[in-house]
Amino acid sequence: MYRRLLCYVEAGETRLEELEGVLDLASQLQSRLIVLAVLPEESPDPSKEEKQERDILEDRTWNFLYEIEDVAFGRELKISLMLEEGKPEETIASVVKSYEVDLCATFLYKGLDAELLLQKLGSTPLLFFNQEGR
């Protein structure tokens, strides 16, 4: 029933331990886990410092995604990693539609507009985990 489970994460806001519940759910459902991180859109004419900060953020985010991948492989989960750019709610909804995601999971991040995300997801269920990963 839930062949594809999307989990939205924010590097620096999410700890690996907090993802235990999502990994357990994907395992129980025998779902492919799609882990998505979204970077803010880059300014049209970034300064040298902004480019360096952006590169550091992108590297840190990929490193976090690879850590999740390592844990998932240890559990023999099928996993896909995605790093996109844009507004989180729009990007999540776009990935859900493009990849025919059956269930979306995330945490209550400060910058995430839950009402807007629910509207954009339509009939796709949205599951919020607390910071303890439950």
**pLDDT tens, 72-113?**
999 999 999 999 999 999 999 999 999 999 999 999 898 899
Dump pLDDT digits (tens) for 14-50. Answer: 888 889 999 999 999 999 999 999 999 888 898 999 9
- pLDDT of 29 reads 94
Each domain of the chain, given as residue ranges in start order, spans 4-113+120-129
Q: Are strands 4-9 and 103-107 parallel, antiparallel or unpaired?
A: parallel
CA distance 36 to 81: 6
- pLDDT of 1 reads 80
- pLDDT of 42 reads 87
Q: Quick one: how far is CA 70 from the chain centroid? A: 16
Asked if the model's pLDDT at residue 131 lies above 80, the reply is no
- The CATH label, of 3.40.50.620, 3.30.930.10, 3.50.50.60, 3.40.50.150, for the domain at 4-113+120-129 is 3.40.50.620
- pLDDT of 132 reads 59
| pLDDT average, residue stretch 103-130 | 93
- pLDDT of 116 reads 96
CA distance 18 to 132: 5
Asked if the model's pLDDT at residue 6 lies above 60, the reply is yes
